Structure 1
Amino acid sequence: MTDNGLRLQDQPDRGELIADLADRFGGRVGIHGVLDDLNRQAIQAKPPAKAADYAFTWSEGDNNTTQWWPQGITTSADAGDVDEIAGRRVLMVGWYATKVEGRTPGTRLSVVDMSDPAEPTYRHVLLIEPRASPNTDAVTMEPVPVHAGGILWYGSSLLVADTRGGVRVFDLDDCLRIEGEGHDGYRYVLPQRTSYKTVNGDGFQPFRFSFVSLDRTAREHQMIAGEYGIDGATTRLVRFAFEPGEPRLAMRGGFSSPLEVVTDKLEHMQGATAVNGTYYISTSRGRLRGGSMWVRRPGQALQ
């Protein structure tokens, strides 16, 4: 591993807090419970890009909302060795919310069943952070106010980019169903299980986790992370190894260090992944112009 001033520190597991919530709401239903209760219809649409061969739009209310903004994407092909979960092809999309009257509901996850591409169905799940109340024995459910610029589904774990905090980790088996009016209007919530906290060494420009993705082609499956940067801000890519056969990062003494740091000075990065050592990087060019896809092969410059 590379000693370059950046590490991710393993944080405490919140399993006991989640168990208290599960007892309160009648037990965990997991991701399968959500997939069995999808309540929204997406609409197949014409792809806006020539290279794409499929697209869909959200239902009218979700398509027209100005509070919620879709960000990171992951699929059941990331989660396991086959492109299915319980016989379904599943897409997940993270959304962040803007503040209304000084408050934000945080981050939500759209769980989309893509088994029939002509009629995709989905449901929103609210991400929450369980906390022990300092004054009572109650466990509260707090918003997860992150940009969610990238999400990564690996095994039962969902990793969510937290720009300056690092990476938040959720276990999809922990999904809870809340009867009645739900929580903040959501029938299903997913509590945060743990996190990987960014630790920047002395003299190291703090790393921003703008997005994350998965590389399954490496000998050790790896998490790719990168920075969105403009006007001279850092624009780096890093790779962290997963523990072989486990949905968690490889640790040494409670810390994970990157295998590589790439500094190509590529601004406006929105997402990146790697396949057999080659990076594929998307960049944006503002609201009115199309973005670009860059390719960086080992030992070569960006193309």
Structure 2
Amino acid sequence: MKLLAPITTLLYSASVLAQDTRPPDNCDTEDKSRRGADFVLREHEYDPKVPALRAIFAGEGRLVSVADVFNDGNRQMTADATIESTWRWQSGDVDTETWVPQGISTTADALDVGTYEGYDGFIVSWYTNTDGKASSARVSLVNKETLKYRHILLVYPHAEDDFREVPIHAGGVMWYGNTLWVVDTDNGIRVFDMDNIWHVDQGDAVGKNGNGGYSARGYKYVVPQVMWYEWTGDFPFKFSYISLDRTTTPDSLLVGEYREDSADHPIRQVRWDLDYTMRTLKTNVDGLASATWAYCVNVDRAQGAVQVDGTIYISRSNSAVRAGEIFTWTPGGPAVKTQDVRPGPEDLTYDKRTKEVFTLSEHAGNRYIFGIKVSELQP
């Protein structure tokens, strides 16, 4: 006599079937969770051109450290005397239309101790446009003690003795150990090496000059891309922002999408596990990293998200003049608006030392870094 499967087994099989049929490319289902296995990145290993370039700069005494840059700020942020944890960029950066700030991370992301090479600070990404397309990206290292900062151009090795600028929107950044992760909207995530900061000559060109020296759009320092994670899905996914979560085991990163209207496009957040010993994603033998979690999150115009102990905080921009918003969300429940903030809030990051979520505002004339206590973001 053939035995029937236990009821629990049948229920489990039905559950697996339901999971397998949830479409990763739209959110038109009652169950908004998605299979992480449908969101896969391919690891491209360390660029072999980097060591050759490093040797050139090291040989000339032009290899510098993060501490060197933190201690070499040539611009000055100003603290708001009336609002705690609020800082304004200096004139020229606060109002420029050429560069737009996007991503934020901190030394508390980089290392669990909270400081990096003895310094406490922020790192912020910016992009610039040429003919309507992102043509270049830079990051700013902000010394939190002195509020001095300096811009660094992001570059990628073009040859063993040359580099070029990185044409991405740089919508979010995550500092993890000696690596800096920058989202590349349609393509995945690029990884830069904070142990390879190179001091270049003055000059407007980017890369090797005719005299054998190097320049970078007038910037003193560059940091090179060393590897990247390529999006492999056969459906579109926007890598709009990124954040680190040290409250999971293992550490993980969260990536999400900016969309104007969830009625027209799905809006999803996806999580990948990190290998803290290598500062890479956890991959299989084929170099593929499958997400461990994915979810439809219908918060229109979301610019950033960060998870802290299972709660996800989401920033939403509305316009250059209307207040932005912070939403608090626990997966499975509704996203609840818990705070109005300055117009144009962007990427988010969390500092466990002060229990603050930090973000930055992007619109010219109203550009700040500011923090909000998570105790103020409870529904």
Normalised by the size of structure 1, how large is the TM-score? 0.88
Q: Which residue of 2 aligns with 1:28?
A: 63
Deviation at 1:234, TM superposition (A): 1.9
Deviations 1:224-272 (A, max 9, x none): 0000012312210000000143311111120111111110222101000
1:135 paired residue number: none
Distance 1:159 1:250 in 2: 15
Q: Does the CA contact (< 8 Å) of 1:67 and 1:99 recur in 2? A: no
Runs ≥4 residues deviating over 6 A: none
Could you say which residue in structure 2 is the equivalent of 1:17?
49
Contact 1:11 1:196 (8 Å CA) reproduced: yes
1:7 CA displacement: 0.5
Contact 2:70 2:119 in 1 (8 A): no
Aligned match for 1:127, one of 154, 161, 175? 154
Quick check: 1:284 aligned with 2:314?
A: no
Q: Deviations over 1:203-236 (max 9, x none)?
A: xx31110000011101111100000012312210
Distance 2:183 2:134 in 1: 17
Report matched runs for 1:90-129 at 5 Å.
Answer: 90-99=121-130, 106-116=136-146, 120-129=147-156
How far off its partner does 1:185 sit? 0.5
Alignment partners' CA distance in 1, 2:36 and 2:293: 10
Q: Is the 8 A contact 1:104 1:143 kept in 2?
A: no
In structure 2, C-alpha distance between the alignment counterparts of 1:212 and 1:3, rounded to whole Å = 16
| CA contact 2:37–2:292 (8 Å) conserved in 1 | no
Q: Percent identity?
A: 34
In structure 1, give the amino acid aligned to 2:152.
V
Structure 2: unaligned runs, 5 residues or longer: 1-33, 204-214, 337-379
**SS at 1:106's partner residue?**
strand
Decide whether the 8 Å contact of 2:317 with 2:324 is kept in 1: yes
Aligned position for 2:301: 268
Q: d(CA) in 1 for partners of 2:97 and 2:166? A: 19
Residue 18 of structure 1 aligns to a residue whose secondary structure is helix
- Counterpart of 2:112 (choices 54, 57, 81) is 81
Q: Number of aligned pairs?
A: 286
Cα distance in 1, alignment partners of residues 173 and 134 from structure 2: 20
- What does the per-residue CA deviation read over 1:272-295, in whole Å, with 9 as the maximum and x for residues that have no partner? 010111111111112221111111
Match of 2:237 among 198, 202, 207: 207
Q: Is contact 2:36-2:270 (8 Å) kept?
A: no
Alpha-carbon distance between aligned partners in 2 of 1:196 and 1:156, rounded to the nearest angstrom: 17
> Looking at CA atoms only, which structure, 1 or 2, has the larger radius of gyration?
2
